[in-house]
Chain A
Amino acid sequence: QLQLQESGPGLVKPSETLSLNCTVSGDSISSSSYYWGWFRQPPGKGLEWIGSFYYSETTYYSPSLRSRVTISVDTSKNHISLKLSSAAAADTAVYYCARHLEKPGNFHYYPMDVWGQGTTVIVSS
């Protein structure tokens, strides 16, 4: 059974880099047919897409965050990493990882069908 688990520091200081991991169990990232996306949800607000990774292909980033975001993979640990530089209070959110089948931009695509439980990150001094 596929499971995703986010992990990382729950508190990050302003201007520092926010770093999170999404560990995948039940599938191998390097041989999967799926994209692995990062999303976030600020307190009391809606969801926001951060970016999506597909092994050996282009990583897609939200243009609004592209300048600060890096998504990468550690195949030995079978996890996807998220790094968000120059963290600010506006980056305080619950961060989720989720899988989806098609690359961003297709008119017809399946939804994000498996999600991690999420991890809360607070940016504060």
Chain B
Amino acid sequence: QSVLTQPPSVSGAPGQRVTISCTGSSSNIGAGYDVHWYQQLPGTAPKVFIYGDNNRPSGVPDRFSGSKSGASVSLAITGLQAEDEADYFCQSYDRTLSAYVFGTGTKVTVL
């Protein structure tokens, strides 16, 4: 069940900045649970891109960044590149559902 809401798609020209929102509630993001972002290329497994709200694993470009405000988080991509075209999911924990929960997913298209 996707209790974290994301826009279905965002797009931008190379070099532009795009942001992906992930809206939760007081049972998950708003309760203070960590949020992670995953990138998923077609036909492949998810890959961690941001963890603990705004930390990048080694190998992830610094043009990816995360932020949090209340029950929402955002993933920003600055200097958009063709290789960034993929699906992005946010993930947290929901204490009401007692379950890890994922966002609905956002497809990033580079124009």
By a beta-carbon cutoff of 8 Å, the part of chain B in contact with chain A is: 1-2, 31-34, 36, 38, 44-48, 51-52, 57, 89, 91, 93, 95, 97-105
Contacts and interface: CB of A to CB of B under 8 A. Distances in A.
Contacts of A113: 48, 57
A69 to B, nearest CB: 12
A64 B101 CA distance: 12
A64 to B, nearest CB: 6
Given A107-B33, A116-B45, A46 B103 contact: yes
B45 A115 contact: yes
A49 B102 contact: yes
Nearest to B47: A115
Q: Which of B31, B51, B95 has the most CB of A within 10 A?
A: B51
Given A48-B1, A104-B93, A105-B93, A111 B99 contact: no
The 6 closest A-B pairs by CB, nearest first: A115-B45, A111-B36, A49-B100, A47-B102, A111-B51, A46-B2
Contacts, number: 70
A47 B44 contact: no
B23 to A, nearest CB: 14
A47 B33 contact: no
Contact of B46 (A48, A104, A115): A115
A112 B95 CA distance: 18
Contacts of B89: 46-47
A104 B104 CA distance: 20
A118 B41 CA distance: 13
Contacts of A45: 2, 104-105
Contact of B45 (A48, A104, A118): A118
A62 B99 contact: yes
A124 interface: no
Given A64-B1, A112-B48, A117-B45, A107 B34 contact: yes
Interface in A54-90: 62-64
